[in-house]
Amino acid sequence: MKHRGLFLLQLGFTLLVCLFMIVPVLMSVLAGLTENYFIGLESGLTTRWVVEVWHLYADTILLSIKLALACLVCTLVLGVPAAYSLLKSPRRWAHTIEELLLMPVAIPGLATALALLLAYGQFRGLRESWLLMLIGHVLFTLPFMIRSVLSVMRTIDIPRLEEAAASLGAGFWRRFFTVIVPNCTGGILAGALMVITLSIGEFNITWMLHTPLNKTLPVGLADSYASMRLEIGSAYTLIFLAMIMPLLILVQWLGNLPHRKPRSRASAPVTATESH
């Protein structure tokens, strides 16, 4: 009874924390689907605010998707070889480089954006396009891709796999693309989904680097709350959640995937033994 009471107490506390976090989100979503938020549900439900947001801010949503996909390509091209290089580097140098790569994550996004403006702001074509925002997003998300891939590389004994492939006559590039990359698929997928979600939701760097013609979804969300009706801003939040939540769930599922595979493999011999 004592353990059951403790369990119920912990469960109740957990539910209270979840409600504390979820209720504001649900209220924001409800505001985006309500005819008049100040009257409440009595005014009726509607999707016209969502439609209006799409008409007003569709370009920001499309730019966010384009920026996230471009950021993903850049982090894949840079991150996977960088993770492999860190794996091959002496441990002391590898740790130093990893700490340096985390600097854009550790310092405020506004400081990173200001540094980019000081370094590249004089290039007018770059400043007026969305490419400067892309550079900022790559700096911010690249460490997550490298860490995700590197952690997988350290668990699957890459040197032994490379040695086996080399003994069969495979050159470096063939080993890299047919042995190393396929064995790191889980880490690459988890890193890719993390990069996309972080890029779509990134605000600080983007707010500093955006122009009136190049607004992303989070910047448009801030503008809508500042200058539009509350229902418009809430409908914008609803669209944002509809884009982000499936990706976050997928990231969580991929993160648990390595823990599921060993169990299924371990249970296979047992099943075979029982069948005999």
Domains of the chain and any CATH numbers = 61-226 (1.10.3720.10)
| Most distant CA atoms of the chain, gap in Å | 75
SS3 108: coil
The pLDDT confidence band at residue 273, using thresholds 50, 70 and 90, is very low
Please say whether the beta carbons of 69 and 195 come within 8 A: no
DSSP state of 43: G
Per-residue pLDDT tens for 77-96? 999 999 888 888 877 777 77
Q: How many residues are recorded in the chain?
A: 276
Tell me which of 46-50, 139-143, 180-184, 261-265 is least confident: 261-265
Region of residue 223 (left: phi > 0; alpha: psi -120 to 50; beta: else): alpha
The pLDDT confidence band at residue 256, using thresholds 50, 70 and 90, is low
What is the average pLDDT value for the chain, to the nearest integer? 81
Please say whether the beta carbons of 176 and 75 come within 8 A: no
